[in-house]
Amino acid sequence: MVLLFVTGKKNGPKKLNERISLRPADKIPYGHFVAYECLPYIFPEARIITSPDEPGFWDSLSTYDGGQAYIVVSDYFSATRDEMRRMIKFASNGNDVFVSTRSISGAVSDMLNCSVYDYSVPSFSQNDAGELIAKDDSLKVRMRAPYFEDDSMFEYPGRRFSSGFTKVDNTIAEEIGEDERKNTNFIHLKCGKGNFYLHLAPLAFSNYFLLYKKNIRYYEMAFSVMDRSASKVVWDEYFMSKDVRVRRSGNGSSSSSEDDGNSSSNQDKDRNWLAVLLSYPALRAALLVGMLTLLLYVLLEMRRKQRYIPVVAKPRNDSLDFVKTIGRLYHDKGDHRNLARKMASYFMEYVRATYKIPTGNMDETFIKTVQYKSGVPDYEIRSIVSFIKYLDDTAVISQVQLTDFHRELENFYAKA
């Protein structure tokens, strides 16, 4: 886990990369690679993609169908009133909109009747040398009971980068999450047949936070509020665009009056430039030939052509991909026993789903039944069952034991 979060020269001191990315493709500490890669586990039946499209004009989502999820993670949720109306309409048709951000626009605040205050600025204290040092710059969050059975506090020593609600309209919203100061940071609003969720701690889904201790549990609970049977899940990249922020802040309009004042002169210059260009007979003839050639090319390309046969991709085993992803994460952390337990859970789920054999009591009858239905020798099944029982009686598993257990499971799946 440490190697994932360091940068620098090979022989020099390694330093934590503190750049806050929030992007699903970044593996740095404050990127969201882990959160995005684990989405197939939360939504096992969904097609999961990223999208830079403006809300309501998606190529991958339908604004009329239900059973879809739209996820936004950004520093500043800069939605306009029109964009909010389109997202709320999308949610009201039976979809989920999940927004995790530190700051919201005035349009969002007005339409959801809430206000936000940034708590992420750390306080400072002075040491003996007279230097200012930040304190309390760590994130602590939890889900609120009785909406969640587990109301444990999840924390990590990284950046806070979070906010809290100073006003929530409880007639339309439920407060389902908070920080260590009991400031609400997660609300749920019902929109017709769907839901709108607003979360104010985007770094709670960062690589650093999720891989720290058992914080992956917070991710599972937070995303479990959405419909797990969703057919499409889109991770938004529109609100992460720098151009969008510039457009929202109005920086691009400061010179509009000057441009308007000179628009006529610019048009005159354009016309004069074109007139000068066409004043040369040879150049005018060359342009004419070029245009005719282009027109001829377009007409020839408009002829009917045989459509190619598309290549049908082999269906992916999303469950197996998820197991491999989680396996790599836990293997990098050196938590061999936890990884072995997850491998054992997958084995038992495979036996239950494939052979319809209960795994509550893995005794001699269980071994014989699995051997009969799978055709795998009973001594191999007996070795797997013995190691699973051994996991409950030990606290430490070596890498060699984990490797042997993995080899036995692979042999079983290959023969079954």
231 and 84 together in one domain: yes
Confirm whether 273 is domain-assigned. no
For the residues 136-164, what does the mean pLDDT come to?
88
191: CB partners within 8 A, 6+ apart: 88, 91, 92, 97
Confirm whether 349 is domain-assigned. yes
User: Is residue 8 predicted with pLDDT exceeding 80?
Assistant: no
CB 233 within 8 A of CB 68: yes
353 and 229 together in one domain: no
pTM of the complete model: 0.56
Confirm whether 366 is domain-assigned. yes
123: CB partners within 8 A, 6+ apart: 134, 135, 136
For the residues 389-398, what does the mean pLDDT come to?
82
9-27 tens-digit pLDDT: 455 566 788 888 899 999 9
For the residues 118-123, what does the mean pLDDT come to?
60
Q: Tell me what pLDDT residue 276 has.
A: 67
Q: Tell me what pLDDT residue 217 has.
A: 95
220 and 361 together in one domain: no
Q: How confident is the model at residue 320 (pLDDT cuts 50, 70, 90)?
A: low
Confirm whether 287 is domain-assigned. no
Last residue of a domain, one of 226, 245, 264: 245
Q: Tell me what pLDDT residue 43 has.
A: 96
85 and 198 together in one domain: yes
Last residue of a domain, one of 245, 277, 312: 245
d(CA 86, CA 97): 11
CB 172 within 8 A of CB 189: yes
235 and 353 together in one domain: no
User: Is residue 119 predicted with pLDDT exceeding 90?
Assistant: no
64-112 tens-digit pLDDT: 999 999 999 999 999 999 999 999 999 999 999 999 999 999 999 999 9
Confirm whether 257 is domain-assigned. no
d(CA 251, CA 249): 6
Q: How far is CA 116 from the centre of its chain?
A: 23
58 and 165 together in one domain: yes
Q: How confident is the model at residue 329 (pLDDT cuts 50, 70, 90)?
A: low
* Helical residues (DSSP H) of 31-149, grouped into ranges: 33-37, 39-42, 81-92, 106-112
Confirm whether 256 is domain-assigned. no
Integer-rounded Cα Rg, in Å, for the chain is 29
Confirm whether 367 is domain-assigned. yes
Give me the CATH number covering residue 83. 3.40.50
Last residue of a domain, one of 217, 245, 273: 245
Q: Tell me what pLDDT residue 228 has.
A: 94
Q: Tell me what pLDDT residue 246 has.
A: 43
CB 86 within 8 A of CB 101: no
User: Is residue 216 predicted with pLDDT exceeding 60?
Assistant: yes
- Give the domain extent around 401: 334-415
45 and 161 together in one domain: yes
For the residues 226-253, what does the mean pLDDT come to?
72
238 and 99 together in one domain: yes
Total domains in the chain come to: 2
Element housing 174 (H / E)? strand 173-179
* Helical residues (DSSP H) of 279-363, grouped into ranges: 281-301, 318-333, 336-355
User: Is residue 306 predicted with pLDDT exceeding 90?
Assistant: no
Confirm whether 188 is domain-assigned. yes
| DSSP-derived 3-state class of residue 35 | helix
Which of 342, 333, 349 is CA-nearest to residue 399? 333
In the chain, the percentage of residues whose pLDDT exceeds 70 is 77
241 and 339 together in one domain: no
201 and 56 together in one domain: yes
373-389 tens-digit pLDDT: 888 898 888 999 888 88
For the residues 184-189, what does the mean pLDDT come to?
96
341-377 tens-digit pLDDT: 888 888 889 888 888 989 888 888 888 988 888 888 9
18 and 149 together in one domain: yes
